[in-house]
Amino acid sequence: MMLNMMAVTSSALNLVLASASTVNLDEKDRVFERMSGITRFLYENLPSYNVAYDIAGYATFIIVFLMSAIVYKLGFAKKLSIGRNVVIYTFLFLGCIVLTFLALFLPMIEGLIVAALILIVYKSRLWREKREQAKSVKTAKEM
């Protein structure tokens, strides 16, 4: 089922490029110019063996899913049971299909990278503050 959804997603993602390749080179160049930075880089540099099985479409989806999972884990995740985590990540997987469509012409991957960096800085500062607070409590108890 997952492979079917990924094949449908990839074929839908490549519909834009397939239609551009049948028209002329200028149309394909116009499509690439409108794509966001990382997505354009993937589509220009990864091999394309068949319109339905384009590696760039899968790579875009995997990057969107991984970055969404990182942002979720850093910013919103709580300690839950394994069953609940499976449900959450399943819906995250399904939602990333829609985000992959948006990632073609909007800077979704770039936005997820910025969000992850901001959350990493926030978590590291929070961890450092808790560590310093624990040290101060420990020194206060020793006195």
Residue range 33-62, pLDDT digits in tens? 888 888 888 888 887 776 655 788 888 999
pLDDT band at 128 (very low <50, low <70, confident <90, very high): very high
Helix ranges (DSSP H) in 76-107: 82-103
Is a pLDDT exceeding 60 seen at residue 1? no
Write phi, then psi, for 136 (nearest 5 degrees): -70, -35
Mean pLDDT over all residues of the chain? 82
| Residue 130: strand, helix, or coil | helix
What's the pLDDT at 127? 92
Mean pLDDT of 7-26: 57
Q: What is the pLDDT of residues 65-94, one digit of tens each?
A: 999 999 999 988 888 899 999 999 999 999
9: CB partners within 8 A, 6+ apart: 57, 61, 97, 100, 101
What's the pLDDT at 69? 94
Q: How far is CA 113 from the centre of its chain?
A: 8
